[in-house]
Structure 1
Amino acid sequence: MNGRNWQDLALLAPGARVNAVVQVAVSGNGMQGNYHVNLDGQQVTQNTGGGLGAFGQPRFSRDSIAEFEFVANRFDATQGRSAGVQVNAITKSGTNAFAGTASGYFRDDRFRAEDFIQRRVLPYSDQQYSFTGGGPIVRDKFHFFANYEYEREPQTLTSSSPFPSFNIDLSSVRTVDLSGLRLDNQFSPRMRYSMRASHYEEVIPNESAGGAVRHPSTGLMRKLSGDQIINTFTQVLSNRSVNELRAGWLGYTWRLETMLDVPNPIYQVPGLEDQVGPPVIQLRGYTIGGGNANTPERMGNNTWSIRDDFTRSFDLGGRMDVKLGGEYLFVDHYIYLCRFCMGVLDVQNGPIPANIESLFPVWNDPSTWNINALSPLSRRFQMGIGNFQFYPPRHVGAFWVQDDWAISPKVTLNLGVRYDVAKGIWGEDYELLPFVKKGAPIDKNNIGPRVGMAYSLDDRTVIRGGWGKYFGDMSDQPTHGLVGYVESFVPEVNYDRRADFAINPFNGPTPSYQEIAQRQCPVNPAPNCVRQNLLSHMVGPVNETTYSYQTSIGVQRQLAASMAVEADYVSTRSRAEVYTHNINLSYNPATGVNYPFTDISRRPFPDWGVVEPYYPDGWTNYQALQMAFSKRFSNRWQASATYLLSSTKDGTPPPRTGLYDVVTFPVAEDLGGEYTYAGSDQRHRAVFNGIWDMGYGFQLSGVYFYGSGLRYGTTYGGDLRAYGTGRGARLRPNGTIVPRNDLVGEPNHRMDMRVQRRFGIRRVRVDGILEVFNVFNRENYGSYTTQESSASYGRPSQNLNVAYQPRMLQLGFRVAF
């Protein structure tokens, strides 16, 4: 397993739809709410930030996981808050025998091939250590299991921009700490209790830097940590009834900081102590300075949960297993979002200067940067001023009824309905007029019926299928985005042709919050008034939770005692996906394009800058044929194979203007109204894995993965449309438009192999392990330059995910006692 991430095993499951696992093998377009991970019945997926992996997720040691399942289509109402996939896992527990393991896995660049981008061997090493132990505290009653894992990975980040002096190597060390403890106590044959506590901490330096479109100064330090406690009390009420009560807490923290310590920031904000990074300088197709406009960030949540599951079995026209349940979660988000407080300078009013390298002579010393030379290319400057810390709460509830009804030996029906409701998703207690009014109603109609059926044609063949409606779990970004704009201000200062605009955008000291509040155009409509920008991650007027309709029909056939095949047609139609519109734009019906955002007189709200709230009018359609073959271990070998033929399309809704009015006349294709292949579309995917017991203690195993080229979103680079945000970045200088999601990456072929030799020494088993990843050194890529204005357009760029690395050897050992 390359990287020892237990969720990599999800790549083997029918319905998995990714080339490489970051933290979960998702279904859908990677949006928040399309997947959930549940560990020992506890939801461990954090919802503070949106997007797959954008704010990270808690991680757990592979050696602590006893079993897991990847569920792409399940017509069961007991699980929810996912419009796509559920990943369920159970941790290991102790037994009456003391047992434990100690293992280590090691990589070094001496056993690594050349990097596919740099064509040289990059400095690299990796060391992973894992320890487990478990046994009885009170024999037959009380047991424990504990684990600890540590990883240290020195790595090198490279650049491939058109500017040679900017293409330097950045060395750093990523570290991961994982630990856990589980206690199980059986009070009586009818009553038992278990407790699990877990801890996760990861430090990732130089994130966001590297590649063809970012300067080395954009590197960020990401720090993640997560802790969980779950208590489970199970009581057998009778030979037909069982009740399971769970109560737990989950804490998760995300920190994002600049790698550059700037003692004297170029743009000073009065009273702001955390202003320690460089500004963000946006050129056409290239970024210098801050890797994230909202740095530093410190975000997280404390989630308290309680859940009860009651199961009753009885006979009524066949056997019925009825499940009743409910749960409540209180999520206390804590947000420190330093929005634009380092300053964002837009210098896209022309191509990148030919002498750009001489303007930034020392990559990590902003005091040497000649930013003022970029003044003639300036379009506008933005900076956040005010309070950046807030604590938006969320209340979540759900109820469900599920009946698994075996009508006859041949027919089983799965009938269920689930109700989900939440308060705090859409900032109902906040107001920002005229765009958001306080007291908006919460979304109360999230009723999800689900129906499944299995019909046995004979004792070897089953036809199964079903339909269901599934509601997602929305990110907290709409709420904390709104609160942030209520309590802080991001003034927009347009280029006024001053020679020193780039270093003195306010034509004097940076104003305080009180001063800037008095200069707002709605308050003081003077010629030099300032306008507030309401960028993405803000509540809109319609509070609707993302949902999907899932359908499947298929067949499973047992070929022999240990072999089976299956095939299913699946369809997922996702609706009410959040989409952002700059509603402070007006459109020309004669041309079908927006009036330039720089023309303030044409704005529906001339006293405001960009106003880009969420609106739930996006949609995605996915359909696939998924097939699988499996052979359980017998006669010293086992194997499985999966194949997926799929199509994913999504739509861009027509633009909205003013107070969310739909533009009714046709517009240019890059402004909305398109329906085409999604950025996550992949046509073919196949995986084969096998294990062979060779005898004499030797075992050979391997995995082969094939994935056809993924689609990537493409732009020209720069806002030639004068849209005000990146939405206008597909327009070319000659007036043509870059096709949406036009770049298709190269297919991925990857084979990993492992040879293991076991030695027995009394009660101790020692495994010597040799693994080779990407055996044939196939050039697989996971990132590309997607901006046409870049000289590197269409070329692969560095991706540090282990799935895209050159051939590498790993040595390891595992001691079990």
Structure 2
Amino acid sequence: METKFAVRARPPAFNSRYRFLRCRRASFSTFLLVLVFTHLLAAQQPPTIPRTDPGAMATLTGTVKDPAGYLIPHAQITLTAVPTATSGSSAAMVTTSDDAGVFRLAGLAVGSYSLLVQATGFALIQQNLVVTEPRGEGHAQRIDVTLPIPTAEMQVSVGDEGDDTAPEHNGSAIVLRPADLNILSDDPDTMKQQLEAIAGPSTDGAHFYIDGFEGTRLPPKSDIREIRINSNLYSAQYDTPGQARIEIFTKPGAGTLHGGLWGNYSNSILNAQDPIATQPAYSHSQLGGYLSGPLGKHLASNANFSRNMYSDSSFVKATVLDGLNVVALTQAIPNKRTQIYFDPRIDFQGPFHTAISLRYIVSHEAQAVGGVGGLVLASEAYRLDNTSQTMQMLATKSFGAKTVNELRFQYTRTRNNEFAASTAPTINVQGAFNGGGAPGGTTRDNQDTYELQDYFSHVFKKSFLRAGGRLRILRDASDATSGFNGAYTFATIGAYQLTLQGIAQGLTPAQIRASGGGASLFSLSVGTPKAKVSRVDGAVYVEDDWKVTPKFTASIGLRVESQTVISDHFDVAPRISLAYAVGPKGKPARFTLRAGSGIFYQRFSTGSQLRIARGNGVVQQQYQVENPDFYPLIPSPAALGASVPPAITQMDPNLRAPYSVFSGLGIDHPFGKVANLSVNYTNTHLVHAFEMRNINAPMPGSGVRPYGGTNAIYEYGSEGLSNQQSLRINSSYRKGPISFYTYYSLSFNDSNTNGGFPSNSYDQHVDYGRAANDIRHQMYAYLNADLPFKIHTSTNAVLRSGAPFNITVGQDLNGDTQYNDRPTYATDLTRASVVTTRWGVFDTQPIAGQKTIPINLGTAPASLQVDQRLSRSFNFGPKLPDAPKAAGAKTPAKPVPVRRRYSFDAYVYAVNVLNHANYTNPSGVLIPVQAGQRSTFGIPTADQGARALLFGGFFSF
């Protein structure tokens, strides 16, 4: 039998049909003061037990169980009579459940009581009950209590009636518990992609929160207790919308010793051949486990570890020169990766409903060949070595069942290192290949993040009030030689070929350029490789979920944010959501109507700060030479400094924090208690999006540079915008051994920036069109089911329409040093610059009167991914006691399976079981071909893997 140990208490669900509400935290100083005050107050009021006629004395008995129905021994039961106008306060009667989870309280007076049940490893639960007169001698009134598993967010429920109009129970919300996790891969990277698919498309991608802190490194699946997706879309507690917000909660320590060991293995012998290139032999293995148990009466621990070893390939599909001949290169580059994860924690259950959790997480990743694939050749590879360490402290205090505060602190120390395999100059041939040395050079990046969260909550009769704040400090110290090796850019593979041919023939640089050869740009960075930046951001919020009527809930919140670095220090973000249940009074709702809107801000990253710190022209100097005639030589910095002014990177002094207005409408329709259908429409309007532009680029028409000279001035601005509309239809079914969930999403996302440079530094409007993440159609489905012979099956499938990609000419046509200019629609088909594609006939050398093609005109192939898992569980060892039956419960029609002490799950997991080739986007650069032929730029550069089988097992006790 397994009794889990928790450090985060959770008050009871007074009304399961309404909802669980998140409880939050107050300041730690307030927590200490209130703790002392309540203790002294209790000491000054010696209570008395009310007594009545002994003949009217009653007995209360019952059981304490966990959510799975297993008995919980040694749970503490506290029964306190509710004070009346005549009786005053009452003493509490305290007992504990026995080894079978059964408790008994005798000699009770008839009347109202408050029952508090708590057990190590579970959230406390408190509820009111009425003890009635005994019906006869020996009769005992019975109550069965189920203690919930605690969460990082303590939850309570409000009210005693009404329909489920909770904001976190919107139609797109999903909760995955341990029984549902079979649909996910054991590989953290693959699991992350699957969760992003379940969450669906959003404007700025998915956001992961692990135990309340935002992060990207996921814990092993064996350490996950619950996953919530798209919960409470407009909550003021978060700085991101609930759409595509993925919250992961890990397991606490347990009150009894238990653990497990798991692993899987895959080998290329059993897998399908990749359609891109012939792969060398490869394998993949994972090994992990956990151990949890008590360290004393009030202490428990839990530790998880995992090791993933990959021996696979990176695929290159490029156009290169073999000697002086242009050839297609398709190659699989062997690549080995290792990931190690270790996560011990200690949980302490203190007095007065106080709980403290201390946790340490360390993860390490090493990769032999990084940065290779697509157009990037093996010569640009770098060795990767990353280590992340996290220390967490969580302190929780609950004051009865209605008031809770929680203090969280996290320190994360991340050390990312990249070591270039070659220091030769980088060679970028637009649309063909990226070769030479690694452009990033050798990088050592040290990040330290401190985060403090302090939240408070209180439950009123018809409302739930939450308030709190967050303070975050980030420090980034970097030592990087990016660009120190120099880089040449060639507009086409033909220009690169003519350059090498001219050098071999002894031609002068002028002759090479006259023949159509020569590089388009040379860049070199010199100076100090070290830079250090920091950022502080904070936020406070208050929010109230008000149950106006049993069928109508209004959630109103306000969040205020601020950050250093930029001049925008006061960002106000109001939030509101409404839900109304339509149906006859006293009956379940036929429909639930939902609406909401809120403002959400984004923060300026430390990575952008580092770029500004280095690019100010003093710490580092970046020299750029257009149409250089000294290839393949690297001129000295002194020679460049005497003739070329360095490029400057800076921030717009009026830079503002981007914010999005996220709004939506939805309708939910239940089908009894087993199925649900919902339709949701959302609109996201993002303004002041970050972008960069060369504010000293030649002005159209005149060619004059506004700031003089010939150097580029790259400036971070906030003039970008985007608009996304999405219609999502969700359906779910859960009954007995079958659970099913699916959705279809139709999205339209237009934008004038992708966070980078516009094609026209003086008119960003010309880039307004399909956004890079405009996935028009997406369907997702998962299925869990029990098959004959005790076999369990899980299916996870996602189908996406092709993503857009930008079609460019691979040249800098306007002198802004950016190679993102688009062709025009051809008007003279006899010109040599005309290229025929499946999207039209384009001219790569635009002339007056021609219209520039829209941004992201191309569309990549659609993708289909279906993963399948088959498993069989074997139970053995000593028999565990059956879960108790409630009074009056009917005997089940089928015999209850016998529970054993040990279990072993054997499974096979098929990745991409249909062996569908899912290609990545092409580069989008037009490659000139012979007259009459169609351009081949639309051929994808790589894929995401063929079908692979993993065989694994999980032993637990």
Q: TM-score, normalised by structure 1?
A: 0.80
Distance 1:533 1:349, change over 3 A: farther
Partner of 1:644: 745
Partner of 1:343: 486
1:173 aligns with 2:336: yes
Contact kept? 2:869, 2:909, Cα under 8 Å: yes
Cα deviation 1:125-176 (Å, max 9, x = unaligned): 111111111111124x221111111111111223222337554432120111
Partner of 1:492: 623
Matches within 5 A, 1:588-737: 588-589=700-701, 595=703, 602-607=704-709, 609-632=711-734, 634-652=735-753, 663=762, 672-728=765-821, 730=823, 732-735=843-846, 737=852
Partner of 1:775: 913
Inter-partner Cα distance in structure 2 for 1:755 and 1:327 = 43
What letter matches 2:714 in structure 1? Answer: E
Partner of 1:452: 577
1:77 paired residue among 236, 259, 263:
236
Distance 1:450 1:323, change over 3 A: same
Cα deviation 1:668-689 (Å, max 9, x = unaligned): xxx7433211111111111121
What letter matches 1:336 in structure 2? Answer: D
1:551 aligns with 2:663: yes
Contact kept? 1:655, 1:662, Cα under 8 Å: no
How many correspondences in the alignment? 702
Distance 1:555 1:83, change over 3 A: closer
Cα deviation 1:412-461 (Å, max 9, x = unaligned): 1111000010113x4xxxxxxxxxxxxxxx21231000001111113233
Cα drift, residue 656 of structure 1: 11
What letter matches 1:740 in structure 2? Answer: I
Partner of 2:12: none
Contact kept? 2:811, 2:820, Cα under 8 Å: no
Contact kept? 1:208, 1:291, Cα under 8 Å: no
Inter-partner Cα distance in structure 2 for 1:145 and 1:748 = 40
Partner of 2:200: 16
Contact kept? 2:486, 2:525, Cα under 8 Å: yes
Segments of structure 1 that go 5 or more residues without pairing to the other structure are: 18-26, 45-56, 261-276, 362-369, 427-441, 520-527, 596-601
Inter-partner Cα distance in structure 1 for 2:682 and 2:214 = 25
Partner of 2:689: 577
1:297 aligns with 2:297: no
What letter matches 1:397 in structure 2? Answer: G
Inter-partner Cα distance in structure 2 for 1:772 and 1:686 = 20
2:359 paired residue among 180, 196, 203:
196
Partner of 1:320: 463
Distance 1:226 1:67, change over 3 A: same
Inter-partner Cα distance in structure 2 for 1:564 and 1:504 = 67
Partner of 2:34: none
Partner of 2:421: 259
Cα drift, residue 206 of structure 1: 2.9
What letter matches 1:463 in structure 2? Answer: L
Distance 1:544 1:83, change over 3 A: farther
1:307 aligns with 2:435: no
Inter-partner Cα distance in structure 2 for 1:357 and 1:43 = 50
Inter-partner Cα distance in structure 1 for 2:756 and 2:220 = 45
What letter matches 2:951 in structure 1? Answer: L
Inter-partner Cα distance in structure 2 for 1:531 and 1:83 = 47
SS at match of 1:587: coil
Partner of 1:364: none
Distance 1:176 1:131, change over 3 A: same
SS at match of 2:671: strand
1:481 aligns with 2:664: no
Cα deviation 1:46-77 (Å, max 9, x = unaligned): xxxxxxxxxxx434222222112222762111
Inter-partner Cα distance in structure 2 for 1:403 and 1:686 = 35
What letter matches 1:466 in structure 2? Answer: G
Contact kept? 2:412, 2:449, Cα under 8 Å: yes
What letter matches 1:571 in structure 2? Answer: N
1:129 aligns with 2:267: no
Cα drift, residue 239 of structure 1: 4.1
Cα deviation 1:105-131 (Å, max 9, x = unaligned): 11111111121222x455321111111
Inter-partner Cα distance in structure 2 for 1:766 and 1:374 = 70
- Greater CA drift, 178-187 or 448-457: 178-187
Contact kept? 2:233, 2:241, Cα under 8 Å: no
Distance 1:291 1:414, change over 3 A: farther
Distance 1:495 1:332, change over 3 A: closer
Partner of 2:318: 161
Inter-partner Cα distance in structure 2 for 1:488 and 1:457 = 64
What letter matches 1:768 in structure 2? Answer: A
Contact kept? 2:280, 2:334, Cα under 8 Å: no
Contact kept? 1:617, 1:653, Cα under 8 Å: no
Q: TM-score, normalised by structure 2?
A: 0.69
Contact kept? 2:675, 2:732, Cα under 8 Å: yes
Inter-partner Cα distance in structure 2 for 1:572 and 1:557 = 25
Partner of 1:533: 647
What letter matches 2:192 in structure 1? Answer: Q
1:464 aligns with 2:594: yes
Distance 1:171 1:130, change over 3 A: same
Structure with more relative contact order (C-alpha pairs < 8 Å, separation 6 or more): 1
Inter-partner Cα distance in structure 1 for 2:552 and 2:449 = 41
Inter-partner Cα distance in structure 1 for 2:195 and 2:509 = 48
Cα drift, residue 578 of structure 1: 0.9
Partner of 1:749: 864
SS at match of 2:439: coil
Cα drift, residue 714 of structure 1: 2.5
What letter matches 2:956 in structure 1? Answer: A
Inter-partner Cα distance in structure 2 for 1:656 and 1:561 = 52
SS at match of 1:202: strand
Inter-partner Cα distance in structure 2 for 1:493 and 1:681 = 34
Matches within 5 A, 1:130-529: 130-139=288-297, 141-163=298-320, 165=322, 167-211=330-374, 213-260=375-422, 277-289=423-435, 293-315=439-461, 319-348=462-491, 351-354=494-497, 377-424=518-565, 426=566, 442-458=567-583, 459-460=588-589, 461-486=591-616, 487-492=618-623, 494=625, 501-506=630-635, 509-511=636-638, 519=641, 528-529=642-643
* Coordinate RMSD, CA, aligned: 3.1
Inter-partner Cα distance in structure 2 for 1:646 and 1:305 = 35
SS at match of 1:394: strand
Contact kept? 1:654, 1:672, Cα under 8 Å: no
Identity of aligned residues (%): 19
Inter-partner Cα distance in structure 1 for 2:628 and 2:728 = 59
Contact kept? 1:278, 1:290, Cα under 8 Å: yes
Inter-partner Cα distance in structure 1 for 2:321 and 2:876 = 57
Inter-partner Cα distance in structure 2 for 1:71 and 1:372 = 61
Cα drift, residue 615 of structure 1: 0.9
Cα drift, residue 770 of structure 1: 1.3
SS at match of 1:138: coil
Segments of structure 2 that go 5 or more residues without pairing to the other structure are: 1-183, 323-328, 825-842, 878-900, 929-934
Contact kept? 2:196, 2:244, Cα under 8 Å: no
Cα deviation 1:723-772 (Å, max 9, x = unaligned): 31223365753316454112212222222211111112212211111122
Inter-partner Cα distance in structure 2 for 1:129 and 1:358 = 53
Distance 1:372 1:169, change over 3 A: farther
Cα deviation 1:338-375 (Å, max 9, x = unaligned): 242111223448833447899999xxxxxxxx999988
Cα drift, residue 462 of structure 1: 1.5
Distance 1:216 1:504, change over 3 A: same
Contact kept? 1:769, 1:811, Cα under 8 Å: yes
Contact kept? 1:649, 1:677, Cα under 8 Å: yes
